[in-house]
Amino acid sequence: MSITREAGPAWAIELNKLTVYYNDKLAVRDVDLKIERQKITAFIGPSGCGKSTVLRSINRMNDLIPGARVTGRVMYSGKNLYDTDIDAVEVRRHIGMVFQKPNPFPKSIFDNVAYGPRLLGIRDGKTLKQIVEQSLRASFLWDEVKDDLKKSGLALSGGQQQRLCIARAIAVQPDVILMDEPCSALDPIATQAIEELMLELVRQYTIIIVTHNMQQAQRVADYTAFFNIRKEQETAGNERRWGLLAEHGATEQIFNAPKLEETERYISGEFG
């Protein structure tokens, strides 16, 4: 069975009791979260609370990790993405991903962006050129690289590389874009460029971003989900830790009037 995009429901993605294990170790537990269509949702929280884990579960990137196991549901366009008849390859074509460290292929700029469309069997040179130009324009990179599309993607600066990766992700026209700390390897100016780009992209795409930067969350996100760590003493000196979704709401509310004390402590930097 294949995935047919539905424009209807307000929620692009719904997580239902999403729980992830790595081998026998519980990583995050019982995440219930609704992601609104064409908005930016930020995941914040201390290191190791499972932000990346949840993000990577949404487009089944965790399938690649041996030992990773997911229970619960990820609903997208009326389908549970973890149903046995859903192909992970198809999921990732609808829900794209941008990683923490820019990871362009050691290929030309053109070939980087054309990679996805070519996977789908598009061979026609004119069509490919069109897609590449559109994607590079949409990721604000076109003016900087239009004269040397043959240059290696690795020859670009870090910020340009990250925008190239965004162009590569949107070239297959996904519906949702997942970004795992996309600016953490970049300088402030490159970071600002990516943030502006996100605010532009959100007119067309649903975006989920993991960030460690509180200001960034406040600048770009419509909604913010705060994840935290729970600990439990199993036996003496043997502690069990797992992550969970502590609080979720409009960014304004999370930062100005958090309902939980732990949220308040985390955003004010008192944590840990």
Partner 1 sequence: MSAAPETAGGVIHDEAAYKRGLRLRTWRGTAWQNFFLLAIVAGIAALIALGFTVVNDAFGYVIATYETPAAELAPNGDLNGLSNAELAQILTEHTPSRLAVYIRDYLYSGDPAEFAKLPMSQALPGATLLPGAENRTVRELNDEQQAAILGDNLSQPVLVTIVEDNVVGESIYQTFSLTESLVNRAGIEAELASAPEGATLSFRSWVSLDFLLSPPSANPATTGARVALLGSLWVTALTILIAFPIGVGAAIYLEEYAAPTRFNRFIEINIRNLAGVPSIVYGILGLAVFVRALATFTGGRSILSAALTMSLLILPVVIINAQEAIRAVPLSLREASYGVGATKWQTIWRVVLRSATPGILTGVILAISRAIGETAPLLLVGASTFIVSDPSGLLSKFTVLPIQIYNYTARPQQPWRDAAAAAILVLLLVLLLFNATAIIMRQRARRRLSA
Residues 6+ apart with CB under 8 A from 81: 58, 59, 60, 73, 74, 75, 91
CA-to-CA dists, residue 133 to 44, 111, 123, 167, angstroms: 34, 12, 16, 9
- By CB under 8 A, residue 120 contacts partner 1: yes
CA distance 242 to 231: 7
92 interface partner picked from Mg ion, partner 1, ligand ADP, none, CB below 5 to 8 A per type: partner 1
For residue 160, the one-letter residue type is Q
Q: How far is the CB of 52 from ligand ADP (least distance, A)?
A: 3
96 interface partner picked from ligand ADP, Mg ion, partner 1, none, CB below 5 to 8 A per type: partner 1
Q: Which stretch binds ligand ADP (CB under 6 A): 42-50, 99-107, 126-134, 170-178?
A: 42-50
Mark residues 12-51: x for contact with Mg ion by CB under 5 A, - for none: ----------------------------------------
SS3 73: strand
**Residue of 156, 220, 158 whose CA lies nearest to 183:** 158
Helix residue spans in the chain (DSSP H): 51-58, 88-94, 109-119, 125-138, 142-145, 158-170, 188-201, 214-220, 251-256, 261-267
- By CB under 8 A, residue 260 contacts partner 1: no
User: How wide is the angle at C-alpha 29 spanned by C-alphas 39 and 79, nearest 5°?
Assistant: 55
49 interface partner picked from ligand ADP, partner 1, Mg ion, none, CB below 5 to 8 A per type: ligand ADP
- Residue 58 · residue 236 · CB < 8 Å: no
- By CB under 5 A, residue 52 contacts Mg ion: yes
Mark residues 58-87: x for contact with ligand ADP by CB under 6 A, - for none: -------x----------------------
Query: Which residues, 49 to 78, sit near partner 1 by CB under 8 A?
Result: 59, 61, 64, 66
Q: How far is the CB of 46 from Mg ion (least distance, A)?
A: 11
- By CB under 8 A, residue 103 contacts partner 1: yes
- Residue 50 · residue 242 · CB < 8 Å: yes
Nearest residue (CB) to Mg ion, 52 versus 59: 52
Contacting residues toward Mg ion, per CB under 5 A: 52
